[in-house]
Structure 1
Amino acid sequence: MRGSIGSMVLERLRHSGVSRIYGVPGDYNLEFLELIERTPGIEFIGTCNELNAAYAADGDARLTGIGAVLVTYGVGDLSALSAVAGACAEGVPLVVISGMPPWHAIQSRALVHHTLADGNYDNVMACYRQFAAATARLHPASAVTETDRVLHAARTFSRPVYIQFPSDICYVDVEVGTPPAMEPQFDPVLVERAADLVVRRIRQARQPVVLVDALVRQYGLVERVQQLCAQYGLPYAALSTARTIMAETGPGWLGAYGGRASDPHVADYVHGADCVIGLGVRFVDSTSGYFSQEIGAGALVDIQAFSLTCDGLDFQGITAAALLDAVWRKLASLPHTRAEPPPAVQAAVPSAAQAWEQAAFWSRAEAFLRPGDVVVADNGSSMVAMLHARLPAGCSLLVQPVWAAIGYSLPASLGACLATPHRRHVLFIGDGSFQMTAQELSTLLRHRCNITIFLINNGGYTIERMILGPQASYNDIANWDYASLPAAFGSGAAPLSLRAGSIAELDAALVQAAAHQGVAFVEVGFTPMDAPPAMAAMGQAVRRYDYGIETPDLT
């Protein structure tokens, strides 16, 4: 079967699960965009800049499994790169396609725009190699095999990949063939041996626990892990990078784990466990209470995507999916007793007598959420509050605690809204984060997304104030008229836009927002040092780790 290189790339993307490509037009990708316009089953979503496009694709991929971005060479590549690096850090598969100058320009080292005008066409590729599981520059002689190789890497390693697409080969006709199978390979004998070891550890454990990280999302392991925990009565906890991936209701759910930053009953149970089944666990500063995890010596059974480390033994050549299948099969035939986790702490009920401060807001925000909502929270007060919240059944929480780029959440919400338009979306974002990527509010309005946005206006970077400089001018930002922006950014009928500076105003706004379809924007105002209770402890931990001081000298 023959077809154009451009059509082949689009068909391969669709076969991989891509139905939306986010990006910005540029003169080197226009012919490919023309082809997208004429191709059913795949849609181009224009964004305000390439950084936001990659964030949107990231939000889409977290709910659908893979995302795609289209940029133009040089300026577009590097604009998107921070978001691509974030996807790499957080284990999100993105396909970045860069429309680049034509092959005749590359071969003659022509001095063209969007380059350094030095004839070098390799420097941008060198940048992307640091943050991509695979890279390729398409050529008619190898375009099909290179596309297949790169997309296979995206799926296998659950990381971004990067394709440079010279502008003059989109309609070159090649032998296309059918896409190859993309299942990672494993050694079944090693899998059985590894499973025997894991089963023995679980059977011998006095207090086992499963510790869930992003691996479970990256490789579609939710049903396997849920089945294993239910079959053998294993309690489970989740790091902040894995909140809501597993069901957070029922007898097996222990709670969110982040070292000594966890609720005490969760930390005590995990730290007292003699068998910790770690699923892709990485103890990053921001996910471990600044390295306050206390996993007993020899307790960790470390399952990664393609390896197992346990009892001093290391197994390569396996996959987490095959290992979990084998463990469940072996345990299913054995008698067992159910491990009982400690009872969870009950969520606080909002009180009308509370003072107007963030504690009152977050208790009401938690009550505002419904089962099945997609909740997105930006780095800072919003993420800290949502990571400590008890979310309704079926909610999906999108946060970025490892790369921790402020501004991520607004464009990520765009991707989430377009990926799951049948669900309600709720975004919590601070004023400093909002100013980073505010343009994409216009795209949410343009696509009539069903989202309620809570803008927390506390006059600057409160999370930084908690670390250093509580009164410093460098933590101040311009105070925009936030509630007026939806009307200015949108066209047609003005969206619902409200302000709340008291509990009574907030309660009224929540009623209106709950009944609204489309974009609802609620600005809530607080004093600069008002924050969720966990923020002060977090600020102290960061200050101590980064600067080696308990209390800063403010004189």
Structure 2
Amino acid sequence: MQTTIGNYLWERLKQLGVRYVFGVPGDFNLQLLEQLHDIDGIEFVGNCNELNASYAADGYARLNGIAAIITTYGVGDLSALCGIAGSCAEHLPVVMITGVPPLYVMRNRLRVHHSMAEGNFDNIMNCAREFTSSGARITPSNAAIEIDRALTTCWQERCPVYLQIPSNISYLNINAPTLPLTRTFAPSDSLQLSEARKLIQEQLHQAKQPLILVDMDADRSQIHTELQTLADHCQIPYASFRSGKAILDESSPLWLGHYPNAPESAVSQWLANADCIIATAPCYSEGSSMVATDEFPIEKTIYLRGEDVTIAGETYEGVSAQQLMAELIRELPTAHNKRPPLPRKAAPLPLTHQVNEALTHAKLWPHITSYFQAKDVIIGEMGCSHIGLLDQPLPHGCHYIAQSIWGAIGFSLPALLGTMMAAPERRHWLFIGDGSLQMTVQELSTILNRGLKPTIILLNNQGYTIERFILGENAAYNDIASWDHQSLIQAFAPKASIFYRRVATHGALDQALTQRPDDQACIIELTLDPMDAPQLLHTFGPKTADFDYGPRGPQRRQH
């Protein structure tokens, strides 16, 4: 079958389930956008800049499974690269497509705009190579092979890829394969798979106190449903690293909490006596455990990764986690190692507050999470929002999103655009601070002008509170300009109907959350003291300062 290079690319992405392509137009990619416009079932979403586009694609990939972004050469690529690096760090499949100068220009090393004007067209590819698992410069002779290779790699390795499409070739015809691309992981080695499955079944059968411990790769490898089934069927308690929040059901009595935690916590006590630990590729960082821990004895621990599994210190390569879990679930016993159900934990007593009581973090997070419903999408910006939400159990089926590893402030607002495009039927909540909002606020105009209807909770604490707790409590560098957010919203979307409230008390917050309509975007601005913060930040800040600056750092100065 013959088709054009541009059409082939868009059809292949559509076959993988990509329905929206985020990006910014530029002269080297306009021909690709023209071709995209002519294909049913896939649509361009224009962003305010390339960084925001990459964050939106990241958010879309978290719910849709895979995403795509399109930029123009050089200036567009490098602007997007921070977001692409974040997707790489957090194991998300994002296809980065860039329109580049004509093929003859690059072959003859001509000097053109959006470059260093010295004829070098490898430098941008080299930059992208550091944060992608595959890259290719498409030509008429390699188009079908390289496009398929890159897209398959993106999906299977859960990592961004980079495709350069010269501006003068996207309308050229090529011979295209007729079989569609599908979302399939590489098949397992059958003997390795069988051996790993048997060993895991034996360990689970013998275990008296097993534990499942999940991190973000349980979601990226698409084994969270099977892990939940295993836990429910065999009554295995589970916990998560903080970068794996809400991947498993936090409303279940099997949920122990986050790891690491205080020694007296339920998860620490259970872990101390665990005789079989199933862990999904833990990412050891400040967001989880700082360094690899020796609390997981080798002989008792099963590490599930995307394409291999380690059991009692022996690694079995070529074993797909998805296939392994599917086989384990298919062969679950009906009774012989099913444990008695754990008693349901008593619900915590609700925190009481006076109607005119000023908002504080101590009461804000239990208060506001009582308004969440099953299957809500909740996005926590790094800082007070994420820290405040971490220890709040979420209802069944909620999807929690935070950029726990890369931690770029401003990520969450464009990511909200991506999540809403991926799952418009769900309720979406965004919690973001005033400092983070200023990083990427332009994308609010895209959200509002597309008629999307999120609930945005804006924490106005007059600057970078998380940084104040690390260093510079009263320093000018942690201050930000004061904005009139209501006027800004009106400027961004003058024709949109938006529910906006600014509140300073718990009673006013209740009133705003109760009155907010379902058919409008809702923005509720919270007035908070700059030095009020979630309790976890009170310990996290000083520990971060000691970690970053050492024993002679400025945090040790006497005041």
| TM-score, normalization by structure 2 | 0.94
Question: Residues of 2 paired with 1:57 and 1:417: CA distance?
Answer: 11
Q: Give the distance between the partners of 1:218 and 1:36, measured in 2 at CA.
A: 28
Residue type at the aligned position of 2:222: G
Aligned to 2:204, which of 202, 205, 222? 202
Q: Partner residue of 2:122?
A: 122
1:252: Cα distance to partner? Answer: 2.8
Deviation track 1:167-224 (CA, whole Å, cap 9, x = no partner) reads 0111100101123564302211111111122222222223111111222221222332
1:314 positional shift: 1.6
Out of 465, 470, 475, the position equivalent to 1:472 is 475
Contact 2:185 2:320 in 1 (8 A): no
Residues 67 and 93 in structure 1, CA contact (< 8 A), matched pair in contact too? yes
Match of 1:249 in 2: 251
Aligned-pair CA distance for 1:26: 0.3
Count of residues in Structure 1 that have an aligned counterpart in Structure 2: 553
- 1:53 paired residue number: 53
What amino acid sits opposite 2:432 in the alignment?
I
Is it true that 1:73 corresponds to 2:94 in the alignment? no
Change (3 A) 1:271 1:56: farther
Instruction: Point out where structure 1 has 5 or more consecutive residues left out of the alignment.
Output: none
Which digits, 9 at most, give the CA deviation of each residue in 1:124-153, with x for residues without a partner? 111111111111110000100000000010
Per the alignment, residue 485 of structure 2 pairs with 482
- How much does 1:329 deviate? 4.2
Quote the offset at 1:431 in angstroms. 0.9
Compare 402-411 and 309-318 and name the one that shifted more: 309-318
1:541 Cα offset (Å): 2.2
Indicate which of 438, 448, 453 corresponds to 1:450: 453
Instruction: Tell me the alpha carbon deviations over residues 19-47 of structure 1, each in whole angstroms, 9 at most, x when there is no partner.
Output: 10000000000011111111100000001
Unaligned runs of 5+ in 2: none
**Alignment deviations for residues 287-320 of structure 1 (CA, whole Å, 9 cap, x no partner):** 2267678334533211111112222312111111
CA distance, structure 2, for counterparts of residue 90 and residue 435 of structure 1: 23
Q: How far off its partner does 1:494 sit?
A: 4.3
Give the drift of 1:542. 1.3
5 Å-filtered alignment, 1:336-485, equals 336-338=337-339, 344=345, 346-353=347-354, 355-485=358-488
Counterpart code for 1:384: I
How far off is 1:262 after superposition?
Answer: 9.1
Equivalent-residue separation in structure 2 for 1:231 and 1:19 (angstroms): 36
Residue 164 of structure 1 deviates from its aligned partner by: 0.5
Greater CA deviation, 366-375 or 118-127?
Answer: 366-375
Whether the 8 Å CA contact 1:192–1:326 is kept in 2: the answer is no
Match of 1:506 in 2: 509
Matching residue of 1:177:
177
Q: Following the alignment from structure 1 to structure 2, what is the Cα–Cα distance between the partners of residues 226 and 506?
A: 35
Alignment correspondent of 1:279: 280
Distance in 1, Cα, partners of 2:109 & 2:387: 50
Task: Give CA-to-partner distance per residue, 1:26-77, whole Å, 9 cap, x none.
Answer: 0000011111111100000001000100110111111110111000000100
Describe how 1:83-122 pairs up with structure 2 within 5 A: 83-122=83-122
Q: Deviations over 1:218-258 (max 9, x none)?
A: 12223322222223222222223322222222343333x23
Shift of 1:435: 0.7
**Does 2:188 correspond to 1:186?**
yes
Judge which range, 93-102 or 324-333, deviates more.
324-333
Name the SS for the 2:303 alignment partner.
strand
- Match for residue 497 of structure 1? 500
Contact 1:483 1:523 in 2 (8 A): no
CA distance in 2, matches of 1:262, 1:124: 48
1:29·1:99 contact (CA, 8 Å) conserved in 2?
yes
Task: Quote the offset at 1:338 in angstroms.
Answer: 0.9
d(CA) in 1 for partners of 2:534, 2:90: 24
In structure 2, do the counterparts of structure 1 residues 383 and 104 end up closer, same or farther at CA, with 3 Å as the change threshold? same
Q: Which range moved further: 479-488 or 427-436?
A: 479-488
Kindly indicate whether the alpha-carbon contact (under 8 Å) linking 2:58 and 2:92 is maintained by their aligned counterparts in 1.
yes
Worse overlay, 222-231 or 460-469: 222-231
Aligned to 1:26: 26
TM-score by length of 1: 0.95
Q: Report the secondary structure of 1:116's partner residue.
A: coil
- Percentage identity across aligned positions? 39
Note the aligned Cα RMSD (angstroms): 2.0
Instruction: Provide Cα deviations, 1:364-387, integer angstroms capped at 9, x if missing partner.
Output: 211122222111110000001111
SS in 2 for 1:199: helix
Does 2:164 align with 1:161? no
Matched-pair contact (CA < 8 Å) for 1:260–1:292: no
